[in-house]
Amino acid sequence: MRGVEKNLNKFIEAGIRVVGISVDTPAQTRRHMVQEAGYTFTFLSDPKLETIRRYDLVHEKEMASGADIARPAEFLVDPSGTVRWRMVTGNFFKHALPEQLLEATKSLP
């Protein structure tokens, strides 16, 4: 996410609206992602994992906390809600690079 934040202007110039989804409550998301981490793009809160479950991204009973959390993933979703590109991984340290995301936007209709 830090790479996305550092390249946020490139995403905006490409017509991409960046949105993160967190399992935390709105207050926790605001504190952790906005105030502490300094992200400036939009975050949505999904503590009931409704959207996270819809995209099949639930990592059940994460080892450290025992709670259900979201697997790391990046999606490019068009205005109609159709997923046009995605990268989902089980490795919590591997994310799509900003360059990969920006390159993927070039092949979208």
The domain limits of the chain are 2-89
Q: What is the pLDDT of residue 65?
A: 64
CATH T-level assignment (fold) for domain 2-89: Glutaredoxin (3.40.30)
Q: How confident is the model at residue 61 (pLDDT cuts 50, 70, 90)?
A: low
Report the pLDDT averaged over residues 51-76. 77
Q: How confident is the model at residue 16 (pLDDT cuts 50, 70, 90)?
A: confident
As a whole number of angstroms, the distance between CA 14 and CA 62 comes to 35
Strands 69-70 and 73-77, sheet pairing? unpaired
Q: What is the pLDDT of residue 48?
A: 92
Q: What is the pLDDT of residue 66?
A: 63
Q: What is the pLDDT of residue 36?
A: 93
What rounded mean pLDDT belongs to the chain?
Answer: 83
